[in-house]
Amino acid sequence: MFPRAEFGSYYGRPIIKAPSWAARDIAGYFFLGGLAGAGSVLAAGAQLTGRTGLATGMKVSSLAAVSLSAAALINDLGRPSRFANMLRVLKPTSPMSVGSWLLSGYGPAAGAAALSAVTGRLPRAGAAATATAALLGPAVATYTAVLAADTAVPAWHGAHRELPYLFAASATAAAAGMALVLAPPHENTPARCAAVLAAAADAVATRAAERRLGMVAETYREGRAGRLLRCAEVLTCGAAATAALVGRRHRPAAVAAGLALLTGSACTRFGVFAAGIASAEDPAYTVVPQRTTQGATAPPSE
C-alpha cells in the first residue's frame, strides 16, 4: 500500500559523532602498543631458547614502544593528570579503565626486563619481569581492539568479534619485523615463522571482518582506509615471503622484510582507524545496516 521508505538524514549530517581522536596519536598508540605487547612474548620465547641477542633487542624495543605508546595516549588526552585520574578506580566493564591498568602494570615489567638484559644485573628479577611482560603482552596488544569496538562507530563495532584477532595478527607482524631488523640471522627463525603466521592470520581476519560488516565493509576498501589496507596487505605478504625464503641467509633481505612488516602493521592500524572515522561521518553506515537487520528479523506481515 505504501512505498518503501528511503534512507535520509537531516541535511545529510552524521547521526553519531565521530571520535575526536587524532589519527597520529591514537592510531600510533594502537600500533605501538601492539608492537610492545607482541614483542614481549617474542622476547620471552627467545630467552627460553637461548637466543640472547634477539631477547635483548626485543626487550629494549618493547620498552621503547610502550613508552612512546603511553606518550601518544597522554598527548591525545591533553594533560598527564588525565591518565593518572583513570587509575583512581578499576572498572572491569570499561576497556579504557582496564587498558590503563594494563599499561601501568606492563610498563614497569617491560622496563625491568630491558634494564636487566642490558646491564646483566639481577638476572632472576629480570627473568620474572620478562615473564610478567610476556603474560600481559597479549592483552596489551589487543585490548585497543576492544576499546575501539566498544564504541558506536559502525566499522569498529560491527567487527567486534574479528577486530581483536586482526590486531593480534598485526601486532605479531610488527614484532616479527622488529626481530628481523634487530636479531642476527642465526637467531631469526622464530621471527620468520611468526611473520608467515601473522600474514596468514591478518588476511583471514580482514576477510572475516568484511563479510560480517556487509555494506560497511566499503569503508575498509575505499578512500584513505582502502589505500592503507591494500598497502598493508602487499607489504605484509611480500615481507613474510621474503623472510621465509631468504631471511636466514641474507641479512639485508631480513632487514628489508622486517621494515616492510613494521610498515605494513602501521598501515593496518591507521587503515582501521580511518575506516572507523569514515563510517561515523556517513549516516548511511549507521542507519541502513540497522534497517536491513530489522527487516530480516521482522515477522512476515499478514
pLDDT tens across the length of the chain (302 residues): 545 545 555 555 666 677 778 888 889 999 999 999 999 999 999 999 888 889 999 999 999 999 998 888 888 877 777 766 777 777 777 777 787 788 888 989 999 999 999 998 898 998 999 999 999 999 999 989 998 888 888 989 888 899 999 999 999 999 999 999 998 888 888 999 999 999 999 999 999 999 988 888 899 999 999 999 999 999 999 999 999 888 788 889 999 999 999 999 999 999 999 999 988 887 777 766 665 554 444 445 44
Give the residue among 203, 192, 205 at the shortest CA–CA distance from 51.
192
Specify whether the CB–CB gap between 72 and 91 falls below 8 A: no
Give the residue among 56, 69, 164 at the shortest CA–CA distance from 120.
56
- Predicted pLDDT at 183: 87
In a domain, 199, yes or no: yes
In a domain, 6, yes or no: no
Q: What is the CATH number of the domain that holds 111?
A: 1.20.1630.10
Angle between helices 223-246 and 189-213 (to 10 degrees): 150
Q: Is 33 exposed, middle or buried (0-12, 13-18, 19+ CB in 10 A)?
A: buried
Predicted TM-score (pTM) of this structure = 0.86
CA distance 290 to 7: 11
DSSP sequence for 188-226: -HHHHHHHHHHHHHHHHHHHHHHHHHGGGGHHHHSHHHH
Cell numbers found for residue 20: 575526536
In a domain, 195, yes or no: yes
Angle between helices 251-281 and 189-213 (to 10 degrees): 20
Give the residue among 271, 269, 242 at the shortest CA–CA distance from 255.
242
In a domain, 13, yes or no: no
In a domain, 247, yes or no: yes
Question: Which domain does 217 fall in, by range?
Answer: 23-284
In a domain, 163, yes or no: yes
In a domain, 126, yes or no: yes
Return the amino acid letter for 48: L
Q: Number of structural domains, the chain?
A: 1
- Predicted pLDDT at 302: 46
Alpha-carbon distance values, 22 to 35, 186, 232, 240, 252 (Å): 20, 41, 21, 30, 35
CA distance 70 to 194: 26
In a domain, 16, yes or no: no
